[in-house]
Structure 1
Amino acid sequence: METVITLDDKVRVYKDLLDKKDELAEQTKENNKKLDELEQEIAQQMVDEEKPDTTVDGFKYSLQEKTIYSKIGEDKLLEKGLNFFEILREEGFGDLIVERVDSRTLNSAMNNLVEEIGELPEGLAECLSIYSQLKVSKRKANTKALSRAKKAQEETNG
């Protein structure tokens, strides 16, 4: 005989998986932080012990110096009167600039547009793949009404 899993049971499993996803993301964040800290400790100890490499359990670990370049914040660029993309182009690095549209931002903008004007303009509709998908929304249940009713009942009976 086939076991039928109820909707509520499936939703509970779904919630557990969502919770686990959040937990794993947090564990990954913590793990990466510990990895970074330990890597810096190992690098410093290699320098202190003047031992630029070591072999452990068949793997060679060696000290390397890497220079990291990252863009300063927009506010600091504005203070200096600089346009990062213009400077990249002027210096011959315009090919590093990538135009990108985040899919969630695109979805939100298109949903808002359709809500406002009723449909997508033809030009946009031609360059977008449009389909519907059923999704399950998770929100905290509103139990205020139930709590007030229970409290009122207790006061009446009490």
Structure 2
Amino acid sequence: MEAVMTLDDKVRAYKELLDRKDELEKQTKANNEQLKNMEQEIAQQMIDEEKPDTTVDGFKYSLQEKTRYSKISEEKLMEKGLVFFDVLREQGFGHLITEKVDPRTLDSAMNNLSAENDGELPEELAEVLSVYSELKVSKRKANTKALNRAKAAKGA
């Protein structure tokens, strides 16, 4: 017969999963950094050994040069008196520009608006938003300062 977990046991298991998630994120970040470094070492060794490709364990690895493009900082654009989107449009790349709303930012803004309006949204917004509730479990460090002070005072 399987033992039933108490609420406290489930909360402890939940905390273990949260801690594992944090650890996995750290491990993923470290792994990605190691991958990047190893890739650069392999590329350099391929260049040094004048061997642009190699086959290992049934997989072919080859040296490739890829050119990447990214927008310069807003500060540098301002120094040049340029507006990035305007330049893209002028050069025929306006189709690359998309309007986007970050879901977390939208959620936060609508929560604030709803709180200011007794839990209601203006009809125009309610028509274009999916509104639903979900149960979540909040985790915060317990405030034990008062208990610790009481224990200290009793022991003094």
TM-score range, shorter chain: over 0.9
Residue of structure 2 in register with 1:143 after alignment:
144
Matches within 5 A, 1:61-72: 61-72=61-72
Matches within 5 A, 1:1-150: 1-118=1-118, 119-150=120-151
- Runs of at least 5 residues in structure 2 that lack an aligned partner in the other structure: none
- Specify the SS of the correspondent of 1:149: helix
Equivalent position amino acid for 1:151 in 2: A
Equivalent position amino acid for 1:149 in 2: A
TM-score (norm 1): 0.94
Q: Distance in 2 between matches of 1:82 and 1:18?
A: 45
Q: Distance in 2 between matches of 1:78 and 1:11?
A: 51
- Displacement, 1:117? 2.4
Q: Distance in 1 between matches of 2:73 and 2:106?
A: 24
TM-score (norm 2): 0.95
CA RMSD of aligned residues (A): 1.1
Percentage of identical aligned residues: 74
Q: Distance in 1 between matches of 2:2 and 2:27?
A: 38
Q: Distance in 2 between matches of 1:9 and 1:123?
A: 45
Give the total of aligned pairs.
155
Q: Distance in 2 between matches of 1:107 and 1:54?
A: 50
- Specify the SS of the correspondent of 1:54: strand
- Which consecutive aligned stretches of 4+ in structure 1 deviate over 3 angstroms post-superposition? none
- Specify the SS of the correspondent of 1:101: coil
Q: Distance in 1 between matches of 2:106 and 2:61?
A: 44
Q: Distance in 2 between matches of 1:13 and 1:82?
A: 54
- Displacement, 1:2? 5.0
Equivalent position amino acid for 2:154 in 1: Q
- Specify the SS of the correspondent of 1:64: coil
- Displacement, 1:27? 0.6
The worse-fitting range, judged by mean Cα deviation, of 83-92 and 49-58 is 83-92
Q: Distance in 1 between matches of 2:86 and 2:3?
A: 64
Residue of structure 2 in register with 1:152 after alignment:
153
- Runs of at least 5 residues in structure 1 that lack an aligned partner in the other structure: none
Q: Distance in 2 between matches of 1:151 and 1:38?
A: 54
Residue by residue over 1:84-103, the C-alpha shift from the partner in whole angstroms, topping out at 9 and shown as x without a partner, is 11111111111111211111
- Displacement, 1:75? 2.0
- Specify the SS of the correspondent of 2:54: strand
